[in-house]
Amino acid sequence: MGKNTCSPLKPDWIMKKILFILIMMSPLLAWAQQPKMNIKIFGGINSANYVYKVEDVDSDMLIGWQVGGSFRVNRRKAFLETGVTFVDYGISVSLTEDSDLEFDDTIDFQIRALEIPMLIGYVPVKSPLFKWFLYGGLANRISLKGRYSFLGEKGTFKPKEADLHIYNLGARFGTQVDVAMFNFDFNYTISVTNSVKGEVRTNTHALQLSVGFLF
């Protein structure tokens, strides 16, 4: 692996993404003035795979993990939630000849990323000890770095070197349950933006199961 060169992110690109996230979070910040709010810390496992929109290219579903924190604002039967999640997830990618990595094959990666979900939902069941939530929304994912293992060789890389987009937007749907001070969350995310650079359309499909504690 001789190529570790990767141009740094441009300041204007970073500022545009931060501005976009702040605009999307503004309704939740307004709701935070309401009295009912929970802070949650959580951890769990995930599985993810790439789906290529071409024939004869398959990918495996690989296992990873996540930890993070969020805050949730409730008002009657509705709620909003956002936070930050550190995600370590596995993907199987078919590399192209344009990749900076010296492989021309399908290879398994472990990617580390930050996720900023923005969710809105409905509470069909609400009691002092038990609550059930249904939700949907957006998941902003910023890839940080990756690890690979191929034919006994191990190393790290930056997303650009494997033709992966640094920023991805996903549509998320899920459900969660509060039992006293414990929270159990299960969600599914499908990417809206193309996951891999190039003309071939790819979608990331991801499942997350988390257990959290409410404050």
- When pLDDT is cut at 50, 70 and 90, the band that residue 152 belongs to is confident
Nearest Cα to 76, choosing from 119, 122, 38? Answer: 122
Of residues 74, 51, 71, 76, the one with CA closest to residue 61? 51
Question: Which tens digits make up the pLDDT trace of 81-127?
Answer: 999 999 999 887 666 545 555 555 667 789 999 999 999 999 999 99
* pLDDT given for residue 2 in this prediction: 46
Sign of torsion, CA 189 135 139 178? negative
Burial 73-95 (b: 16+ CB within 10 A, else e): bbeeeebbbbbebebbbbbbbbb
- Tell me, what amino acid is at 112? R
Specify the CATH number of the domain 11-214.
2.40.160.20
Position 61 scores a pLDDT of: 79
Supply the pLDDT for residue 53. Answer: 66
194 to 22, 137, 148, 203: CA distances (angstroms): 23, 18, 21, 6
Q: What is the pLDDT of residue 199?
A: 65
Q: Which residue has the higher pLDDT, 176 or 74?
A: 176
Q: How far is CA 15 from CA 21, 122, 175, in A?
A: 10, 32, 32
90 vs 50 pLDDT, higher one: 90
Residues forming a β-bridge with 38: 72
pLDDT at 123: 96
Does the pLDDT value for residue 5 go beyond 50? no
Place of tokens 């604002």: 73
pLDDT in tens, 28-47: 666 555 558 999 999 999 99
Please report which confidence band the pLDDT of residue 194 belongs to, taking 50, 70 and 90 as the band edges.
confident
Q: What does the domain layout of the chain look like in residue ranges? A: 11-214
Q: What is residue 91's predicted lDDT score, i.e. its pLDDT?
A: 80
Please state, rounded to an integer, the average pLDDT across all residues of the chain: 83
